[in-house]
Amino acid sequence: MPASTSKYQYITCDTSKCVGCQLCEYICSYTKIGEFNTFRSRIRTVRAHKILMTAVTCRTCEDAPCVIACPRDALSQDPLTGVIRIDA
């Protein structure tokens, strides 16, 4: 899939599938820099309260590894814009 053509790069979120495992952060850092390090990931997640975890920033990579790695198929990438979505 193409990288985002949007001026703003972001993720929209529906938390019904995302369980807050942060695997998207780990696989992003591993793919980009070769190490599993969430501090060096290009995608960020935040915990709004005890049960809500959501992604808030993203570089919308081509063939996004976070989408491929998500164990719950909660992520998808728009084929036209490249925007990553956390799906319901």
**For 41-45, 54-58, 77-81, 84-88, which range has the lowest pLDDT when averaged over its residues?**
54-58
The torsion of the CA quartet 64, 5, 83, 35, rounded to 10 degrees, works out to 30
Which residue is it, tokens 């599938």?
17
**C-alpha 11: how far from its chain's center?**
7
Considering only residues 65 and 5, tell me which one the structure prediction assigns the higher pLDDT.
65
Q: Is pTM beyond 0.85 here?
A: no
State what percent of residues in the chain have pLDDT above 90.
2
pLDDT digit string (tens) for 6-41?
665 666 566 677 777 888 888 888 888 899 888 888
Answer whether 35's CB lies under 8 Å from 16's CB: no
Which residues sit opposite 80 in a β-bridge? none
Q: Is the pLDDT of residue 57 over 80?
A: no
Higher-pLDDT residue of 30, 56: 30
